[in-house]
Amino acid sequence: MSRTICLCILLSVFLPVASVSTSLWGKKVQLNGYPCMWQLQPHALVPALEELTVCILIRCHLATQWTGFDYKAPGSSNIELGLGGTSAQLTVWMFGEQWHLEKGLNLTEWYSVCLTWSSRAGRLKLYINGSSQHEFPVNPTKNQKLAPNGTLTLGVSHYVDANGEVQQMDGNNLIGEIGLFRVWSKEWSSEKLSMQSCADGDVVNWDQRQWKYACAPKTDNSLHCAWSYYNIKMWIFIVHSTKPGNCSLSLETVTRNWLRSIFHPNISVHDIFVSSPSHICHVVNNSAALRAQQPQGSTTLSNYTCDKCFSCEVHVNVNPAANVKAVQTDITALLSLTFSFDFLNLTAEPDSINISPVELPFVATDPSTTVSTDKPDTFFRVNLTLRMSGTPSNPKDVIEKWVKKALEINGTMVVLNLITTENVGRTMEQNTEVATSRCQQKQQVTKKIYYCAFHVQEYSINSVAEVKTYINDALTSKYVNGSITIKATAKIEQIEPENCLEEITSTIYGIYIWPETFPQVKQEMGCDKPHSGRAFRLCKLDIETDRASWAKPDMTDCTPRVTISDLGNITVTTDNAAKVVDIIQDLVDVQLGNSAELSSSELDSVVEKLGEVIDVSFINTDVGGNIVNIISNILLSETNVTPVANVVLNLTDRMGDTMDFQSESVSLTAPSLALSIINVDPNGFAGLTFGVSSISSLLNPKTFVNQSFVNDPLPETVATISLPSALHTFFPSGDGETTRVQFQFYGTHDLFQDPCTNNSTQSNWTLNSYIISASINNSHIRNLTDRVVVTLRHQTPTQPGDKVQCRFWDFQKNGGQGGWNSRGCKTRSISSNQTSCLCDHLTHFAVLLDVSRAPISEADSQILTVISYIGCGISSIFLGITLLTYLAFDKLRRDYPSRILINLSVALLGLSMIFLLDSWLSSFSNYHLCIATAATLHYFLLASFTWMGLEAVHMYFALVKVFNIYVSFYTLKFCAVGWGIPLVIVSLVLAINKDAYGTSLPEEDVMVLQSTAQFCWLQNDVFFYVTVVTFILLILLCNASVFIMVLIQIRQMKVNKPSAKSSSPLNDLRAVASLTVLLGLTWSIGFFSFGSGRVVLLYLFSIFNSLQGFFVFFFHCLMKENVRKQWRVHLCCGRFKLSDYSDWSRSVTLGDRFKKQNLVNSDSLASDDTSSIRKVSNSTASNQHHQGA
């Protein structure tokens, strides 16, 4: 032993030690206040982590505010992960949130501080010197990950400047020392933290090559860490001697012999991974690439592999454990010696040697568990009665945010399982499951009453009495937030839920024994396959029973031991049917989690085995619900189910007919799928109605059943089917026969793919509704005199002229593949959103839409939207320039046309700006803000067209009624009409029904389809057609008439005045275009956008009308000589500047002197080219007219 120690000392002194020069083990970062920032190298990238562990050694010298480490996401100023503190508390940051722990670190003492987090566990844990100090609740988000590729600094906080450089932030620098900073990609338990105290990080390790620093590390012999498990990576040179011998030995064998010969007896070699020999050596450390290069068999040397090099990774064990610094030094020195074996010489490249302490090797035959030994937390049940005033758009969210903000502020407790019900009194009639909504309301003047129930988990820090007092005080205090006021009374009681007992589960992932666990504790267990994976299961507290029970395990990291192809080896019996369905569900979930679809063979296996389950055993509601979930998951994936569509439909029918349940009815729902089964009394059958509402691909549909025949369509439903009482004549006869009615709803079209309707060249029809069906066991219903009424909401609202048709799914059509048939069904259109079908039989029903009118494609729709926004933006800019020009230069606004133009520009500018801001304002989902936005947009649209109409009226007075026309208070009256009429119309709409304004999506759809663009506008068709379409049509008709009369008048003036004939056709065209813009005649394109040229006309409509403001600027600023002269007078300099005293100025002054004698001036006709037609009559009452102006 003494010989070994002496050898190690000699090797350490005399041999080169390459990797040790970069190792920071036994060294520390000393921070004394002068600028010294350690930052992670740009090439040392942090990946997106779903779990992590961070450990740091830290020692403070001054009791100031300090930063341990600071990690920030790219482009963000928020701290993604960090640690800091003061003399009295510790502060932890994650995802921009921060938590405080009232515990300080003693000065001049070393502390090991670790943070662990997992997205599944939803908690950030803090450990000090290996002891768990606190758990901080992190708001759980699906697939939440640490932001990758961020910037990390030690001892200081930082920011990234405009050049991308990391800069130090002053004010919270650590005055002290830091050592052993490491990051792992796993969440370690407290037991593993104590066991892995010396292991280096697999994400960030304690090595100089990963850090960029301004001050060198200092050696500290007190930082002693003894460890046994190491990983060695290096490149090895192979040099043959002068007498080549046998070259058949494997590289692994040669390497193992070499290492055994040079290592001391206390260093044992375990795994060795070698790459294929190469003539070029790349000094890298990439174990993944190394193992990928290694074939299944060992690589052998040949005459062609000598004089080469290869990379190598070795796992060694040092027993007894030794100081990491000393082990790194000793092994590096030993590897730097040249080794001779037969005819070969082996030498390790010194710069490539990397020796790292690694985690304990995992060796276990059974899945290991992590058992919590802490005491359980304290739980309370809180029942609140709240009175809320105000009208929040989503009261449930307001209540939940208020409760959590009130109770979770200090981090010692967390709110669980919060549900809110709104009391609506007993006069409102609700049907079955619709009535079970969590929100039931009771209106009391302007206040609503809500009931809340939730659990509070307190981390056993305070006494029960203190916690009750705190909760009561926090919740019974009056809460005011703007117009929202909440007053609450609370009932608080401590509950003592029992632990979740030990449970053995046999799954596709193997057999797992979940140990007894405290409530609301997430148990962790090693996967059976692979051993490195972890399984999780929560002991969940139930709000209904106040008891804890096991939730479904999270086996995301585990690999199944069976696959769907193994289903054929399972024999279904009555006893194991439920278990088989569980296996199928797990296998389908795993497969669809790894792939977007099931293969045809996998789909066949699943459907066949489900059919065996239904045929072999009676299905209870739990098993039936699982089967429905399996089918729903398959339908919502990209799996092609068309080949087995009819098999699946028959399977669900058979399941409903044979299902065993004790109640009168049962409903099974899954996303986009619902089944309701009712046992009816044949003697008292008065009809039956089934309906579905609130359908989405993410949520289960809401169903209801009414024990009567409902002929009229029901609001807020996407599909209803009503069976008449006469149907009882078809019920099965016999005393032992149970009459069972089964309803089915499908929110996806995948099972109903008709080859004819799918082929656009053969059919113009497409599905435009969901599918609903009804059936009666052992009966074939047809030729009913009292027809079945089916009401379906359109997925795409129909337009005027669209054709819809009710059809049923004919199983015999298309050679047994199935298809849509209209026989026996009558179509009754209700509105653009609903259609009723009257059918004389029972099966699956839907509404098909005739798409021969060639609707706008999604691409065209997006392009038109972009054109509209760009055009409105351009118009807004140039309308602003137009207004500034006319308002800044007094000489431009002395006549009536200019004043009218100013008002029109204001209206068009308001219309463009509100249109541009509408989507952004509607994104706030604020009820009142949306109504205000829609009403304002409506107002400016009407005002714009009113002023276009007034332009036409003015032209009529100026050019047609030239003589004997006098209007007192001319401008004032025009303003009253131009701004007053739109105000009256909008006010009437608000007074009659303010809810006519709103978002373009129903509220329930907005909550589900968050990605869909919302738009606040008139939503009531009656108000839209009366106050928008009719109003605009009347204005355009009047303007078109005036336009024609003006053109005729211009023509007559040219005939009467030969001098006018000198105007060129280009000038005439310019005058006509100017009139078209002012009178808004381009808007008439919208009334002709139908037929084969619809898309082209819509493009023209969008371009011309969104750019109307630009055209106003072009024709009435840029093309007008008097405007250009004013620009040159006031805005130009040098030779471009005109004198203010000019012919034009004199003419304007002279004209102003006689302004009283002129009634109107037709300058609005676009340009000076039309000056020959501006002559108007003189007024005999000049003084009165001047007063009116």
In the numeric block, the tokens 């290694």 are attached to 294
Stated length of the chain: 1189
Q: Over the stretch 1162-1172, which tens digit does the pLDDT of each residue have?
A: 333 333 333 33
- Grade residue 682 by pLDDT with cuts at 50, 70 and 90: confident
Report d(CA 263, CA 559) in Å as an integer: 38
Report d(CA 262, CA 260) in Å as an integer: 6
Report residue 929 as tokens. Answer: 């803000």
On whether the CB atoms of residues 169 and 157 are closer than 8 A, the answer is yes
Report residue 369 as tokens. Answer: 């568990």
Which residues are CB-neighbours of 799 under 8 A, at least 6 positions away?
Answer: 832, 853
Report residue 744 as tokens. Answer: 């089915």
- Grade residue 850 by pLDDT with cuts at 50, 70 and 90: low
| Cβ count within 10 A of residue 1183 | 8
Number of H helices, E strands in the chain: 25, 50
Q: Over the stretch 1109-1123, which tens digit does the pLDDT of each residue have?
A: 888 888 888 888 788
Report d(CA 734, CA 730) in Å as an integer: 12
The angle, 0 to 180 degrees and rounded to 10, between the axes of the packed helices 858-888 and 1094-1106 is: 20
Q: Report the amino acid identity of residue 947.
A: W
Angle at 892 between CA 891 and CA 896, to 5 degrees: 110
Provide mean pLDDT across the span 63-90. 91
In the numeric block, the tokens 């200019």 are attached to 898
Higher pLDDT, 15 or 705: 705
Report d(CA 874, CA 437) in Å as an integer: 49
Q: How far is CA 537 from CA 359, 589, 875, 1168, in A?
A: 25, 17, 59, 83
On whether the CB atoms of residues 725 and 682 are closer than 8 A, the answer is no
Report d(CA 602, CA 564) in Å as an integer: 6
On whether the CB atoms of residues 808 and 752 are closer than 8 A, the answer is no
| pLDDT reported for residue 609 | 92
Q: Over the stretch 918-944, which tens digit does the pLDDT of each residue have?
A: 888 888 878 889 899 999 999 999 999
Buried b (16+ CB within 10 A) or exposed e, 737-771: eebbbbbbbbbbbbbbbbeebeeeeebebbbbbbb
Higher pLDDT, 192 or 559: 559
Q: Where are the alpha helices (DSSP H) in 668-724?
A: none
Report d(CA 130, CA 729) in Å as an integer: 77
- Grade residue 368 by pLDDT with cuts at 50, 70 and 90: very low
- Which DSSP category does 444 fall into? E
Tell me which residue of 957, 944, 979, 974 sits closest to 1079, measured CA to CA.
Answer: 944
Provide mean pLDDT across the span 447-463. 86
Report d(CA 1065, CA 393) in Å as an integer: 59
Higher pLDDT, 552 or 798: 552
Report d(CA 521, CA 375) in Å as an integer: 11
| pLDDT reported for residue 1063 | 59
Map 317-372 to HEC letters.
EEEEEEEHHHHHHHHHHHHCCCEEECCEEEEECHHHCEEEECCCCCCCCCCCEECC
Tell me which residue of 187, 160, 209, 164 sits closest to 94, measured CA to CA.
Answer: 187
Buried b (16+ CB within 10 A) or exposed e, 954-993: bbbbbbeebeeeebeebeeebbeebbebbeebbeebbeee
Higher pLDDT, 694 or 948: 948
Residue 267 φ/ψ, nearest 5 degrees: -110, 110
| pLDDT reported for residue 906 | 93
Provide mean pLDDT across the span 283-301. 39
Report d(CA 470, CA 477) in Å as an integer: 11
Report d(CA 32, CA 35) in Å as an integer: 8
- Residue 10, pLDDT > 60, answer no
Higher pLDDT, 1154 or 507: 507
Tell me which residue of 27, 39, 21 sits closest to 217, measured CA to CA.
Answer: 27
Provide mean pLDDT across the span 678-704. 82
Which residues are CB-neighbours of 788 under 8 A, at least 6 positions away?
Answer: 721, 722, 723, 724, 774, 838, 839, 840, 841, 842
- Residue 17, pLDDT > 70, answer no
Q: How far is CA 94 from CA 50, 166, 443, 757, 1118, in A?
A: 13, 20, 42, 53, 57
Report d(CA 927, CA 528) in Å as an integer: 53
- Which DSSP category does 250 fall into? B
- Residue 491, pLDDT > 90, answer yes
- Residue 1147, pLDDT > 90, answer no
Report d(CA 359, CA 364) in Å as an integer: 15
Q: Report the amino acid identity of residue 174.
A: L
pTM of the predicted model as reported, rounded to 2 decimal places: 0.46
On whether the CB atoms of residues 227 and 327 are closer than 8 A, the answer is yes
- Grade residue 21 by pLDDT with cuts at 50, 70 and 90: low
**Best-predicted range by mean pLDDT (460-469, 569-578, 902-911):** 902-911
Q: Over the stretch 851-888, which tens digit does the pLDDT of each residue have?
A: 554 456 778 888 888 999 999 999 899 999 988 988 88
Report residue 205 as tokens. Answer: 């390790």
Report d(CA 828, CA 835) in Å as an integer: 6
Beta pairing partners, 845: 772, 808
| pLDDT reported for residue 1090 | 64
- Residue 437, pLDDT > 50, answer no
- Residue 193, pLDDT > 60, answer yes
Report residue 775 as tokens. Answer: 């059936």
Report d(CA 255, CA 262) in Å as an integer: 11
Element (H, E) at 443: strand 443-444
Q: Over the stretch 691-702, which tens digit does the pLDDT of each residue have?
A: 898 666 677 888
Handedness of CA 576, 581, 586, 591 (dihedral sign): positive
Tell me which residue of 699, 743, 698, 693 sits closest to 718, measured CA to CA.
Answer: 693
- Grade residue 988 by pLDDT with cuts at 50, 70 and 90: very high
Name the 3-class secondary structure at 1174.
Answer: coil
Q: How far is CA 929 from CA 393, 514, 925, 933, in A?
A: 11, 52, 8, 6
- Residue 907, pLDDT > 70, answer yes
On whether the CB atoms of residues 205 and 285 are closer than 8 A, the answer is no
Provide mean pLDDT across the span 44-52. 90
User: Taking the CA atoms of the chain, what radius of gyration do you get in angstroms?
Assistant: 41
User: Mean pLDDT of all residues in the chain?
Assistant: 79
| pLDDT reported for residue 1145 | 43
Name the 3-class secondary structure at 125.
Answer: strand
Q: How far is CA 762 from CA 186, 757, 758, 801, 981, in A?
A: 58, 7, 8, 21, 52
Q: What percent of the chain has pLDDT over 90?
A: 24
Query: 188: exposed, middle or buried (C-beta count within 10 Å: 0-12, 13-18, 19+)?
Result: buried
On whether the CB atoms of residues 245 and 302 are closer than 8 A, the answer is no
Query: 257: exposed, middle or buried (C-beta count within 10 Å: 0-12, 13-18, 19+)?
Result: middle
On whether the CB atoms of residues 270 and 201 are closer than 8 A, the answer is no
Q: What percent of the chain has pLDDT over 70?
A: 81
Q: Over the stretch 303-352, which tens digit does the pLDDT of each residue have?
A: 334 457 888 888 888 877 788 888 888 888 888 777 776 667 778 888 88
Report d(CA 743, CA 772) in Å as an integer: 7
